[in-house]
Structure 1
Amino acid sequence: MTDPQLALTMLALFIVLVFLGFPIAFTLMAMGIGFGYYAYFDGSRMWRAFERLDETASSWDSWSLWFEGFMNNRIFDLFVNQTYTVMANEVLTAVPLFLFMGYVVERANIVDRLFSTLNIASKNIPGSMGVAALVTCALFATATGIVGAVVTLMGLLALPAMLKARYDPSFAAGIICAGGTLGILIPPSIMLIVYAAASGVSIVQLYAGAMIPGLILVALYIVYVVTRSILQPSVAPRPTKEEVPDVPMGKLLWMIVTSFLPLAFLILAVLGSILGGYATPTEAAAIGALGGLLLAVAYRALTFQRLRESVYLTVRTTAMVCWLFVGSYTFSAVFSYLGGEHIISEFVQSLDITPLQFLILAQLIIFLLGWPLEWSEIIIIFVPIFLPLLAIFDIDPLFFGVLVALNLQTSFLTPPMAMSAYYLKGIAPPSVKLTDIFKGILPFLAMVFIAMIVVYVVPQSVFFLPEYFYGR
């Protein structure tokens, strides 16, 4: 078996092990070290240790020299170096800070106030409660970037309110599931930070590039909710005064000032400092973490228990991402050394496809990978396989990254493996069936594909803000 064939075997075996349920990070490390031991094997390095053996050597000396000879392989040097490289990556430093901001905001009792305020403010709009839920999801998801947390919290808060207001269960469930996934696209997105670390693209330009496509997707969601509410009023009846009471304008403005503006100001301060060049993403993330703590104090929601939970969840999620990077870097280094990337590049070029066909093929593969895998695993493990091919087809990695971010919305919305549906089902009333949730998210899935088409047809939707702020 040639080295390139061994590399493809390595990739195929990894996919099989993932489907069997093995932990992905440790599977990557084991596969990388295992195949890397063969790839980097140097007999002279091993036998150098055994040359020190003589007849007087004890059993312990023999075993220790044997172990020294076994470990005298460059794969172990590579593994250690990759671990330090990941841990010293300045881009990834922003991950725990943004996560901490999100977990603190999640526990600060801001979302219930925000949803109530937006629900009252938009009561004259068709599908007002759905629109309020979407805007709340967009703001909250932007502040947290944690899909499970947003869907679960909004499911506990908004779903009972919409069901009580006689909303169709599938329609209400689709709104919450779709809105909850927006945090992996709209900056400051953890996913974009991970893509920047994997691809080498500037995280600042990624944030600027993803802003307009993210707003396009939110707008498509809102247009769909309002349009369907007008054409089919039974799915979203207008609220009665008992359900949404009239509030004097002065009181409504005070509700907006105390619920909407603080969170919006925090998000704008973080994004503005990044896009304006006043702070690096890591520094802005630190500002956001401090702002989240101050909001929790202002809302009298900061307790030691909540702070401890936020720190614990931050450490756990950050460790997962970092160890995925360690495993991926080791795996990809061995895969490339064996000639795997070269053989894939040659195969794709032999297909004689256009850049559009390549984009469709790549996005289709990522779409399918979204069924069994999390977005972090797709970005860290599989997207780097496509990155060397972008130059061949003259595709900007920034543009490709935004398309991938849009595409990964589908990994949470595509039955039968739509994770957002399972998050919601876990806390929904028994009357809301999983099939109802699947039925409700399909129209929003179509909106994601429409947004991807719009971005491809109008690439300036991605490039306008990066060029405006930073030039070509």
Structure 2
Amino acid sequence: MTDPQIAVLMLATFILSIFLGFPIAFTLMAMGVGFGYYAYFDAGRQWRAYEKLMASDDPGTFDIVSAWFEGFLNNRIFDLFVNQTYSVMSNDVLTAIPLFLFMGYVVERANIVNALFDTLYVSAKRLPGAMAVAALATCALFATATGIVGAVVTLMGMLALPSMLKARYDTSFASGVICAGGCLGILIPPSIMLIVYAAASNVSIVKLYAGALLPGFLLAGLYIVYVVTRATLNPKLAPKPPEDETDHLSAATIAWMLLTSFFPLAFLILAVLGAILFGLATPSEAAALGALGGLLLALAYRALTWDRLRESVYLTVRTSAMVCWMFVGSWTFSSVFSYLGGESVVEEFVLGLEMSPIAFLIMAQIIIFLLGWPLEWSEIIIIFVPIFLPLLPHFGVDPLFFGILIALNLQTSFLTPPMAMSAYYLKGVAPPGVELTHIFSGVMPYLVLIVTAMALIYIFPSLVFYLPELAYG
């Protein structure tokens, strides 16, 4: 077999291992080291080691075994693996991930979601589907602060879903709101997904954050417009609350509720994001500021206990280790794959199709959409997106634009049946009577809205480029 054929076999073996359920990070490392040993094998090195041994006087068994191990380990793949591990440890962009995760886990345990949801509900009481709008806004703000889809959907499923069902909201309608709103943190900065993409693509994280703002607000706006429109056309989906339920609250009371529940979290997010976008701090420094702010916020809400702090640290370390080891495995795997000629095989195949830039983007997004069924977004970004990146210059596609499209597309991986993880998160905490069929039915319109947002960005790319060009040229 030729080296390119070995590279294709390497990729096929990895995909098969994923479907068999092997841990992805360790599978990547094993594939990289295993196939890399073949790729970088130098028979001359082992022969020279044996020649040196035989030139000595009366070599013993221990010397022979030692020479064998020396020859076995004298392979550049081990140097490559060590260097890739060090590169991940010293990557300035990746150091922001554990800090943002810690901020998210601390804020999640600060017990402010209940007050935030009640405040936004009272503030939006005159809108059709006010409780659903409040749930969407709470999901968007909380998802932005934490960046953890499972945590947002689970907490809002325990808090907002019973309230909406008690208010006689349609089960599918209410379920779709929570599932879709919980995924907004993938796109809206400060998004952990965008940090991972920046590390994988060498795109400026600052420009990515600036480019994601308008698409993020566009998608959240489409969600709210859809909810209000559906509630207006069909009031049975979201009945209006009794007038005496909210009208007894004065404007001063509502202002105080906003001041104590909405503004602290919003200020924390804006402070972190503003420090990055205005160049006042690097992403790592801003993430450290956010982690400190999360601790102070939890302390102000009297939710900072030793057990919660310990759990936040544990979850941060576990998630960060998973992401970083996946980077180590992915970079080792991709280096060997490229060395064997696999990258050129993919490039020649795609270029041989003679597609237009639009056709290439559509094909890439369809592949990423399909990969979202069996894989998490982190695995798609770290493993498969780098396969597309070398092709972007051939089609004149900016990696910044490509990254924002992926951030939009990856939300579908949490919403598309039958592997919609947000639906399973919600089902795990939903009241009795809420079935997966109800949840799947509720999320389908939001898939249409995501595709609509992607189409708008295709048609109006200035939605992505306007803020980065305005701020950074």
Q: TM-score, normalised by structure 1?
A: 0.99
For residues 82 and 327 of structure 1, what CA distance do their matches in structure 2 show?
8
SS at match of 2:429: coil
For residues 245 and 165 of structure 1, what CA distance do their matches in structure 2 show?
16
State the Cα distance separating 1:343 from its structure 2 match. Answer: 1.1
Q: 2:450 aligns with which of 426, 448, 451?
A: 448
- Listed one character per residue, the Cα deviations across residues 397-439 of structure 1 (whole Å, up to 9, x for unaligned) are 0000000000001000000000000000011112000010000
For residues 98 and 447 of structure 1, what CA distance do their matches in structure 2 show?
28
SS at match of 2:52: coil
- Listed one character per residue, the Cα deviations across residues 269-298 of structure 1 (whole Å, up to 9, x for unaligned) are 011111111111111101101100110011
- The answer to whether structure 1 residue 175 and structure 2 residue 177 are counterparts is yes
In the other structure, the counterpart of 1:114 is 116
8 Å CA contact retained: 1:31, 1:331: yes
In the other structure, the counterpart of 2:251 is 249
Q: How does 1:384-423 map to 2 (within 5 A)?
A: 384-423=386-425
Q: Percent identity?
A: 72
8 Å CA contact retained: 1:366, 1:407: yes
In the other structure, the counterpart of 2:22 is 22
Q: 1:277 aligns with which of 279, 286, 290?
A: 279
State the Cα distance separating 1:241 from its structure 2 match. Answer: 4.4
In the other structure, the counterpart of 1:213 is 215
In the other structure, the counterpart of 2:202 is 200
For residues 456 and 269 of structure 1, what CA distance do their matches in structure 2 show?
31
State the Cα distance separating 1:245 from its structure 2 match. Answer: 5.8
- Identify which range, 42-51 or 109-118, moves more after superposition: 42-51
Coordinate RMSD, CA, aligned:
0.9
- Listed one character per residue, the Cα deviations across residues 123-153 of structure 1 (whole Å, up to 9, x for unaligned) are 1100000000000000000000000000001
In the other structure, the counterpart of 2:50 is 50
SS at match of 1:352: coil
Given residue 37 of structure 1, which amino acid in structure 2 is its aligned partner? Y
In the other structure, the counterpart of 1:33 is 33
8 Å CA contact retained: 1:172, 1:440: yes
Q: 1:163 aligns with which of 138, 162, 165?
A: 165
In the other structure, the counterpart of 1:133 is 135
In the other structure, the counterpart of 1:81 is 83
SS at match of 2:188: coil
- Listed one character per residue, the Cα deviations across residues 315-338 of structure 1 (whole Å, up to 9, x for unaligned) are 000000000000000000000000
For residues 26 and 100 of structure 1, what CA distance do their matches in structure 2 show?
24
SS at match of 1:44: helix
In the other structure, the counterpart of 1:6 is 6
For residues 244 and 385 of structure 1, what CA distance do their matches in structure 2 show?
54
For residues 295 and 448 of structure 1, what CA distance do their matches in structure 2 show?
33
SS at match of 2:434: coil
- The answer to whether structure 1 residue 71 and structure 2 residue 77 are counterparts is no
- Listed one character per residue, the Cα deviations across residues 64-91 of structure 1 (whole Å, up to 9, x for unaligned) are 2211110100000000000000110000
For residues 430 and 6 of structure 1, what CA distance do their matches in structure 2 show?
52
In the other structure, the counterpart of 1:331 is 333
Structure 1 residues 243, 2: closer, same or farther in 2, change over 3 A?
A: farther
Structure 1 residues 297, 9: closer, same or farther in 2, change over 3 A?
A: same
State the Cα distance separating 1:12 from its structure 2 match. Answer: 0.8
State the Cα distance separating 1:61 from its structure 2 match. Answer: 2.3
- Listed one character per residue, the Cα deviations across residues 158-182 of structure 1 (whole Å, up to 9, x for unaligned) are 0010010001111111000000001
For residues 422 and 437 of structure 1, what CA distance do their matches in structure 2 show?
9
8 Å CA contact retained: 1:414, 1:442: yes
State the Cα distance separating 1:53 from its structure 2 match. Answer: 2.7
In the other structure, the counterpart of 1:61 is 63
State the Cα distance separating 1:49 from its structure 2 match. Answer: 2.1
8 Å CA contact retained: 1:119, 1:244: no
8 Å CA contact retained: 1:32, 1:327: yes
Q: TM-score, normalised by structure 2?
A: 0.98
- Listed one character per residue, the Cα deviations across residues 362-381 of structure 1 (whole Å, up to 9, x for unaligned) are 00000000000000000000
8 Å CA contact retained: 1:151, 1:176: yes
8 Å CA contact retained: 1:165, 1:243: no
In the other structure, the counterpart of 1:343 is 345
5+ residue gaps in structure 1?
none
Given residue 206 of structure 2, which amino acid in structure 1 is its aligned partner? V
For residues 288 and 253 of structure 1, what CA distance do their matches in structure 2 show?
25
In the other structure, the counterpart of 1:299 is 301
- The answer to whether structure 1 residue 92 and structure 2 residue 94 are counterparts is yes
5+ residue gaps in structure 2?
none
For residues 359 and 260 of structure 2, what CA distance do their matches in structure 1 show?
49
- The answer to whether structure 1 residue 259 and structure 2 residue 255 are counterparts is no
Moved over 4 A (4+): 241-245
For residues 244 and 46 of structure 1, what CA distance do their matches in structure 2 show?
81
Q: 1:315 aligns with which of 311, 314, 317?
A: 317
Given residue 341 of structure 1, which amino acid in structure 2 is its aligned partner? E
- Listed one character per residue, the Cα deviations across residues 229-269 of structure 1 (whole Å, up to 9, x for unaligned) are 01111110011246546311111100000000000000110
When the two structures are aligned, how many residues end up with a matched partner?
471
Given residue 444 of structure 1, which amino acid in structure 2 is its aligned partner? Y
For residues 432 and 345 of structure 1, what CA distance do their matches in structure 2 show?
47
SS at match of 1:358: helix
In the other structure, the counterpart of 1:382 is 384
For residues 31 and 208 of structure 2, what CA distance do their matches in structure 1 show?
31
Given residue 121 of structure 1, which amino acid in structure 2 is its aligned partner? S
SS at match of 2:53: coil
Q: 1:462 aligns with which of 447, 464, 468?
A: 464
SS at match of 2:350: helix
In the other structure, the counterpart of 1:427 is 429
